[in-house]
Amino acid sequence: MNFASNDYLGLALDGTLAEAAARAARELGAGRGASRLVAGDSPLHRAVEEATADLLGAPASILFGSGYAVNTGLLPVMAGEGDVIVSDALNHASIVDGCRLSRARTLVVPHGDVDALDQRLATADTRRKIVVTETVFSMDGDVAPLVDISAVCARHGALLVPDEAHAFGVFGPRGAGVAAALGELPCDTVRVVTLGKAVGAHGAVVVGGAATVALLKNRARTFVYATAPPPAVCAAALAGLRLLATAASS
Ligand SMILES: *Cc1c(COP(=O)(O)O)cnc(C)c1O
């Protein structure tokens, strides 16, 4: 028994995922040999993106090699010098590093403190305001007050970036996450989900509007300058996503 892993649904050891990975490796090879934008792209990568967007009911999505790569690639695209990012004190290291790499002014608010968030946003006199938070916190396991956070974001015209790493597959309808459980949020959002925890594979996906995703495909350095994820990883993730979708509907 292992109570310390993030393999919440036991999918990492599921035969369906392992078999899909083995088949993809046999048929398509072990690696892609180039980044997605050069020659590494494949229908399998796009299938993972589409399956994730379908599950989250979002228009567009982009697959990264890992959740760490998402946060260090996404935040520097969404914010830069002269912008403000408000970040929860208990946010994951990859979010902290993404904030640093963005060169935006990062204001850290006490964990789960919506009033502090409101005050920080009210005093931030900047072009762009980004609020980034985990939805289920990795270490404490508590859930962010996303309804209140999104209302504050809407009031201040801030973009909300919920990181659903520990929620995806477990919380919300069909495992689509905490944000999905709340329906339409009042503010703009760009959602982050990972495929290496409850989905049992590896990688991570950013889900959002078509324009944001197109921007990330061309500007996120951890996407543009990284070798495309291997076929076996994509096939395992796709099998995990399909199990989620079918388990939830049966
Ligand atoms: C685990 C985790 C990540 C990193 O995801 P990997 O795919 O393991 O790189 C990012 N954000 C949060 C909140 C996490 O818990």
Instruction: Tell me the per-residue pLDDT of 140-161, one tens digit each, with 9 for 90 and over.
Output: 999 999 999 999 999 999 999 9
Does the structure show a pLDDT above 80 at 190? Answer: yes
Instruction: Report pLDDT for 249.
Output: 58
Where in the sequence numbering do the catalytic residues fall?
Answer: 6, 92, 134, 138, 163, 166, 197
Residue appearing with tokens 């396991």: 141
Instruction: Report pLDDT for 127.
Output: 86
Instruction: Report pLDDT for 248.
Output: 60
The model's pLDDT over 215-247, given as tens digits with 9 standing for 90+, comes to 999 999 999 999 999 999 999 999 999 999 887
Q: What is the mean pLDDT of residues 137-141?
A: 93
**Does any ligand 1 atom lie closer than 6 A to the CB of residue 191?**
no
Structural tokens at position 57: 């009911």
Contact by Cβ (8 Å): 173, 180: yes
Ligand 1 atom nearest 194 alpha carbon: 7
Q: What is the mean pLDDT of residues 192-197?
A: 98
Residue appearing with tokens 């993972």: 48
Distances (CA, A) of 126 to 74, 88, 137: 19, 19, 28
Does the structure show a pLDDT above 50 at 192? Answer: yes
Does the structure show a pLDDT above 90 at 250? Answer: no
**Does any ligand 1 atom lie closer than 6 A to the CB of residue 92?**
yes
Q: CA 29, CA 199: separation in Å to the nearest integer?
A: 22
Q: What is the mean pLDDT of residues 91-116?
A: 98
Structural tokens at position 15: 């035969």
DSSP the chain: --SSSS-TTSGGG-HHHHHHHHHHHHHH-S---SBIIIII--HHHHHHHHHHHHHHT-SEEEEES-HHHHHHHHHHHH--TT-EEEEETT--HHHHHHHHHHTSEEEEE-TT-HHHHHHHHHH--SS-EEEEEESB-TTT--B--HHHHHHHHHHHTPEEEEE-TTTTTTSSGGG--HHHHT-S-SS-B-EEEESSSTTSS--EEEEE-HHHHHHHHHH-HHHHTSBPPPHHHHHHHHHHHHHHHHHHH-
Q: What is the mean pLDDT of residues 19-47?
A: 98
Residue nearest to atom 3 of ligand 1 (CA): 67
**Does any ligand 1 atom lie closer than 6 A to the CB of residue 68?**
yes
**Does any ligand 1 atom lie closer than 6 A to the CB of residue 134?**
yes
Contact by Cβ (8 Å): 195, 201: yes
Which amino acid is it at 16?
T
User: What is the pTM assigned to this prediction?
Assistant: 0.97
Instruction: Report pLDDT for 109.
Output: 98
Ligand 1 atom nearest 68 alpha carbon: 9
Instruction: Report pLDDT for 246.
Output: 87
**How deeply is 231 buried, as exposed, middle or buried, from its count of CB atoms within 10 A (0-12, 13-18, 19+)?**
buried
Does the structure show a pLDDT above 70 at 134? Answer: yes
Instruction: Report pLDDT for 92.
Output: 98
User: Which residues, at least 6 apart from 46, have a Cβ–Cβ distance to it below 8 Å?
Assistant: none
Instruction: Report pLDDT for 1.
Output: 82
